[in-house]
Each structure stands twice: as structure tokens, then as C-alpha cells.
Amino acid sequence: MAAALLLLGVILYVSTNYGYVKIELSDATAQVDLKLDGTIDITGLDRPLRVRAGEHYIDVTGDNFETKCEYFSVKRGEEDLVRISLVPKSTVEVASKQPSAEPPVVDPASDEPSPPPKTATEHISEAAPKKPIEDTPPLAIAPFDAEQANQHQDVWAKHLGVPVEITNSTGGKLVLIPPGEFLMGSKVLDPDAEDRELPQHCVRITKPFYLGTCEVTLRQFRQFFEDAGYTQGADKWRKQFRDKDKSDDLPVADVSSLDATEFCKWLSAKEGKTYRLPTEAEWEYACRAGTQTSFSFGLGEGALGQYAWYGRNAGGATHPVGQKKPNPWGLYDMHGSVYEWCQDWADEDYYDQFKSEVAVDPAGPEHGACRMFPGGPWFEVGLGWRAASRSLHRPGHRSLFLGFRFR
């Protein structure tokens, strides 16, 4: 990845009635689009532009460069300095490549529930040929839109020699998530942010992976416990299977992190591949899908009902998976429906170490008492379904609001 350039030449002042934002740019020919209630083009700012307090979007364009960080907040009674980073524009194109005659090198992720950082590797496909390093496509560096997200998926699929979407032996679909870079967590000035979502920091996912397009369903979990003879915690989760009128496409719930991990181990042994829960970083990267807003579809919850089952539309119950709109990667129910277990141990201060450096494939602490689960439940009314929202509980905890998806 090319190093980001810090813009230091031109200074733009964006002010409100309560303060101002000072924006430093390096390209004197840059064009700035400031999106508030509408769009304002700034080509030569000779006086402060007044905007209201709140979260705003800024787009800086110049020859061969594009913005990397484009959202900023103006808080009443405060002033802030915003530094906008530019990176070279990534042209998504497919070069002619010749597959290597050598067999692929597959180094699957550890079966341990919490692998130590920097040792986990990703399993894509035993049929994927190796490619020369110089032919490797660019990382998907946020922000990017839905069209660019699909282009990244297509380019990486062709590069790896695999399909964008696959179906496994349980009937579950998985979609290819290309490697990339994004801002994880919430901004310090976000009024909805909780302490465990701070600080916002840059994360780099270095390897592509497949992730379930939907949460694990009753149908898939039934295959697991019937085939494996699994009974741990059955007094809780088996209740879902007693009602014959229930759809098999409902997300399984009332499962613990231990249950989810055992499911992944069973499926790994069944198919000879490595399945596991995603890390928190992988989950949020997949949820955001190139966006930098609170939700994968925008800032506010106005359109939430189109993408999620939650307290205002769920009617007090879960609903079959995949009925709402997907995010740009093609993932369903990332907001709402049920919380989703991740493999990370919980440490609310873990990401403090990445305040001033890029977190590369963070896998969370090596030990802990609780596991993390992002997502958001079907019963809640509020902002608990934001991409950065994260909760935690003991690994053995089971709840009607807790499920999982695998990668």
C-alpha cells in the first residue's frame, strides 16, 4: 500500500455559529465537496463557510489522488483541526495472469478458539493457484462505494481463481471478502459512541476470506447437533426446534460462544477445511463494506428498516435470514436480527495500543473472561446496531438474542 500523504499546503476554514473547523490541504488545485443538507463545491475558499454542528462529509479530489478519511464532526462550543489524508487512486483492473504450475500452499487458521495475534492465516480454496506478488490486486482501502466493493471482489476472485460466492455442505452461502484497510471503532465526538468503541483506529486485513452471507440458521444447526450428537446446552437451544411451524431459515439463537466454536470444528472436520468465527476486526470490516458511517447504508437510522430486523419492525420475534437488503459486500442482517459471536477475548482497552499505528490482522487478546459480539438484537430500539457497536459476555452465555455466522 502506498503511504498516505499528509496535506499541509492550503488551509480551508469551515466554521459554524459555535466554532470552526480548520482543514489543511496540500494540493492548491484540490476541489472540495462538503456534503451537509446538500452539496457545496469549494474551489477557492476566501471566507469561512458556515455549517451546523454535527457530523459532516468532505471529499477532496486532486490529480491521481482520493480521500482516505472523509468524515468529521463539529461539536457545539468546540473547535477542531481536521487533517485529510490522500492516497493514490486505486484503479481496479484485471491484468492477464498465468496460473502457476505449482500446487497452492494452504496454511489454515488454527483450530484453537483464540489464536495469538500475527499467527492466524486464512484458508480460501485448495484449488486457488499461486500468483506472482507483483500481480496482486490493490487492497480495498475505505472509503469506497458499492460498485467499487463489487469490483474489488471480482478482481480478487479472478486473481485467486475462485468464485465470489460459494455454497458449503450445510447449504450456507459464503461471499469473498477481499483484503483491505478501514477505520475501526467510533469517533471520539460521536455522541452515540461508547467507551469500548474508542479509540477509532486504522486496521489492515491482509488476507482475503469467505464469510457467511447470513447468520447460521436452524436448518444448519440441526445438521450439526444431529450429525455430531451434540447436546451441550441443549436445554436452552433445543427449544427453538420444538415448534414444527417455525421456519428452518430463522437464525439460530440461544447459543453460546462454545456452541458456535463446536459447530465450526464439526464443519471443518466434515469438509476438510478450516471454519471459525470471525475476529472483531474482520466482522466490522465486513459489516462496513467500504463505508465510514454509523451504518453500512449511511449516518442515521432512517433506512434501518430496509436492512435490519429491530425493535420497530421485528414484532417481538426473529425472522428468516436474508430478507432485508444486503450491504455492499452482499452480506445480510449485519445490523439487527441477532448479536453475532466473534472469536476475540474481551479487553475493552485492547485497541488503545493502536492509537498511532495500523493494526494488522488484530486477533484480540490471548486470554480473557468474556468473548465479544457485535451486531444488534431484533428487540432493541436505539443505536445498538451500529457497525462499531460491540458487547461482551462469558463464553458459556446463551441468549435469545445471540447467534453467529462463520468464515
What are the tens digits of pLDDT across the range 52-68? 565 555 555 555 555 54
Torsion of CA 43, 49, 53, 55, to 10 degrees: 0
**How far is the CA of 29 from the CAs of 54, 82, 128, in angstroms?**
27, 19, 44
> What is residue 250's predicted lDDT score, i.e. its pLDDT?
97
In the numeric block, the cell 462463520 is attached to: 406
pLDDT tens across the length of the chain (407 residues): 232 333 334 455 554 443 445 555 555 555 555 554 433 445 444 555 555 565 555 555 555 555 544 555 666 655 555 555 555 554 333 332 233 333 333 333 333 443 433 333 344 544 444 555 458 999 999 999 999 999 999 999 999 999 999 999 999 999 999 999 999 988 877 777 788 888 888 999 999 999 999 999 999 999 999 999 999 999 999 999 988 888 999 999 999 999 999 999 999 999 999 999 999 999 999 999 999 888 888 767 778 889 989 888 999 899 999 999 999 999 999 998 999 999 999 987 888 888 778 999 999 999 999 999 998 888 877 666 788 888 899 999 999 999 999 99
In the numeric block, the cell 496535506 is attached to: 7
- CATH code for the part of the protein at 98-407: 3.90.1580.10
Share of the chain above pLDDT 70, in %: 66
> What is residue 285's predicted lDDT score, i.e. its pLDDT?
97
**How far is the CA of 290 from the CAs of 30, 152, 155, 245, 397, in angstroms?**
23, 11, 16, 39, 32
**How far is the CA of 387 from the CAs of 7, 102, 185, 286, 381, in angstroms?**
28, 40, 8, 9, 15
> What is residue 334's predicted lDDT score, i.e. its pLDDT?
93
What are the tens digits of pLDDT across the range 348-365? 788 888 877 899 999 999
What are residue 126's phi and psi, to 5 degrees?
A: -70, -15
Q: Region of 397 please: left (phi>0), alpha (psi -120 to 50) or beta.
A: beta
Name residues whose C-beta falls within 8 Å of residue 381's C-beta, 6 or more positions apart in sequence. Answer: 310, 311, 312
**How far is the CA of 2 from the CAs of 150, 271, 355, in angstroms?**
22, 38, 20
What are the tens digits of pLDDT across the range 71-104? 556 666 555 555 555 555 543 333 322 333 333 3
Cβ neighbours of 131 (radius 10 Å)? 16
What are the tens digits of pLDDT across the range 93-140? 333 223 333 333 333 333 344 343 333 334 454 444 455 545 899 999
The DSSP bridge pattern shows strands 5-6 and 85-88 to be: antiparallel
**Residue among 247, 205, 257 at smallest CA distance from 393:** 257
Distance CA 224, CA 34 (A): 51
Q: 57 near 34, Cβ under 8 Å? A: yes
Using alpha carbons only, what angle is made at residue 242 by residues 239 and 243, rounded to the nearest 5 degrees?
115
**How far is the CA of 207 from the CAs of 57, 81, 113, 224, in angstroms?**
29, 34, 19, 28
Domain boundaries, the chain: 5-88, 98-407
